[in-house]
Amino acid sequence: MTVENTEATPLVENEDENSQYEELSHTKSPLYRYSMFALSAIIGIPILYFFLVFLPNEAPDSENIYDLAVASKPKVYLHPVIRPSKVKAESEFASEYGEELNGDVEFLKDPDSPLKKIPNIPKWEYLSSQSELFKSHLEQLTEKEFDGSERPVKRLILVGDIHGSFKPLMRLLKRVKYNAKYDEVLMLGDFLAKGKHSTEVLDWAVKNQIGCVLGNHEIEILKRYAQFHGLPKLTFVGRHGREMNETMKSEIDIKETYDLDDLMRIAKHLTPKQIEYLRECPLIRELGPVPHLTNRKQTHYFDYPAEGFAVHAGLMWNVKNAHEQNPVYVTTMRNLLPPNWTEATENKHDQVDGVKSEPWTKHWNLFQDLQVRKQLENKTESTFMLGKKVYYGHDAGRGLRFKPYSTGLDSGCVYGVALSSEILWAEVEQSAKSEDSKVVYKHQFVQVSC
């Protein structure tokens, strides 16, 4: 009995179909490959052009970021000014504000009065450099490492975190009657990022050579700039021309890649001139003598000015020299960690073994108060400045903070609150105890809404 193989025919048919398919594939394969090559070229050449030609031409040339300075000496000094006489001041006030004043009204007797009339100090006269008072004052300054190269100004205007808020900044300067010839503006870091007009702020600062200290946002922008242009990591020196000691040398870590965030967008478009400006901004600017106030209302001036410092976040109370401060701490700190309070943190909610961290300003002010008490016991005729006072930003959460040895000026402009400033000047006053005159360092707080 013969059994037919019923599967033979289908097998033969499948082989024929496969052979026909292979012949067809071999026939179309070269055409297919050429088509794919052409399509790849059409798509790929524009992409290569964009990355290799167009994009590099759009990005500005790179500029090396040399070692950034932790601290720098003052570029200006507050030359003492003389308040106009009562009659002259009343006349100027009436002409400026269009108000009639009674003869017994004294013009701006207290610049910090609730009236908040801002004295037009740029119009006040300088104390003569030939006067005995100025000569003795200058002698005290030179003993504190002033070398005579500092530019004389009538006012120092310290501005809190701007964060790209260009229009409020211009309103603030208009309100304080900013005069580039007689005033020095100093931005307390974080003048870039978050806001919509960082480019305008930076262009204005470069054009007018505005004073600055770097904040954590400027540092982050420079880190991205270094990565984008393939530059070395950021490093710091104690001062320009002076190395930090080995225990304090630091190198800022840079990630292998950064996302295309707001900071990177700013970094990619920085010009060499803007980089030159930013790399001259230290982390700490020493200010010389500044107002030393003794009460919570900030109205009573101490007999001795304090030594002033401008920084973005804060200073460590246990580090004696400004140029030896930790670069990361001074741009990010908000609190100190227990138990020794010598380690800083940015997070105000950090704890150690259940003990909460505390504001760095608390320990700074306690330490400075103790130091001043000791210095008063050993004061001499040559004693000039007592205590160290810090002007800072970075802490919009706590807002404005006025203490004897620290002033916080971040009032959250980028969040729609206010842009704050502290105006400092040196004024000639007649001593209440004698006929002699003296130089008193004064201040006024001014802000505008954002």
C-alpha–C-alpha distance, residues 264 and 216, integer Å = 14
Exposed / middle / buried, residue 375 (Cβ in 10 Å: 0-12, 13-18, 19+)? middle
**Residue 13 falls within a domain, yes or no?**
no
Q: Distance between CA 273 and CA 60 in Å, rounded?
A: 10
DSSP sequence for 338-378? TTTS-EEES-TT-EETTEEPEEHHHHHHHHHHHHHHHHHHT
Q: What is the bridge-based pairing of β-strands 155-159 and 183-187? A: parallel
Closest CA to 68 of 204, 247, 191, 218: 218
Is residue 307 one of the residues assigned to a domain? yes
- Whole-number Å distance between alpha carbons of 209 and 377: 42
pLDDT in tens, the chain (450 residues): 444 444 444 444 455 555 554 554 555 577 777 777 777 778 877 676 555 544 544 556 777 887 899 999 989 999 999 998 754 544 444 444 443 333 333 333 444 444 468 889 999 999 999 999 999 998 888 877 677 788 999 999 999 999 999 999 999 999 999 999 999 999 999 999 999 999 999 999 999 999 999 999 999 999 999 999 988 888 899 887 555 554 455 555 556 567 788 999 999 999 999 999 999 999 999 999 999 987 777 778 888 999 999 999 999 999 999 999 999 999 999 999 999 999 999 999 999 999 999 999 999 999 999 999 999 999 888 889 999 999 999 999 999 999 999 999 999 999 999 999 999 999 998 766 667 889 999 999 999 999
- Residues 408, 395: contact at Cβ < 8 Å? yes
Domain residues for 314?
68-83+119-449
* 36 belongs to a structural domain: no
How many Å apart are CA 236 and CA 439, to the nearest integer? Answer: 37
Whether the CB-CB separation of 404 and 298 falls below 8 Å is answered with no
pLDDT, position 79: 95
3-state secondary structure 128-182: CCCCHHHHHHHHHHHHCCCCCCCEEECEEEEECCCCCCHHHHHHHHHHCCCCCCC
- Structural domain contains residue 217: yes
Angle formed by the axes of helices 198-208 and 272-279, nearest 10° = 70
Identify the CATH number of the domain in which residue 244 sits: 3.60.21.10
Identity (one letter) of the amino acid at 403?
K
pLDDT attached to residue 85: 75
What pLDDT was estimated at residue 255? 60
In the chain the first and final C-alpha atoms are separated, in Å, by: 104
Tell me the pTM. Answer: 0.81
CB of 336 closer than 8 Å to CB of 363: yes
Residue 295, exposed/middle/buried by CB under 10 A (0-12, 13-18, 19+)? exposed
Q: Strand (E) positions, 242-352?
A: 284-290, 306-311, 335-337, 343-345, 351-352
221 CB-near residues (< 8 Å, 6+ apart): 192, 193, 263, 266, 267, 270
Residue 3 burial by Cβ neighbours in a 10 Å radius (0-12, 13-18, 19+): exposed
In a domain, 52, yes or no: no
Long-range pairs, 11-14, Cβ under 8 A, ≥24: none
With H, G, I as helix, E, B as strand and everything else as coil, classify residue 213.
Answer: coil
Q: Judge whether 57 lies within some domain.
A: no
∠ at Cα 21 (18, 27), nearest 5°?
145
Give me the sign of the Cα torsion angle 170, 198, 196, 421: negative
Residue 331 in tokens? 């741009």
State the residue for tokens 């502290």: 422
Tell me if residue 71 falls in helix, strand or coil.
strand
Number of domains the chain is built from: 1
User: Does residue 229 fall inside a structural domain?
Assistant: yes
Per the CB < 8 A criterion, the answer to whether 142 and 174 are in contact is no
Please report whether residue 360 resides in a domain.
yes
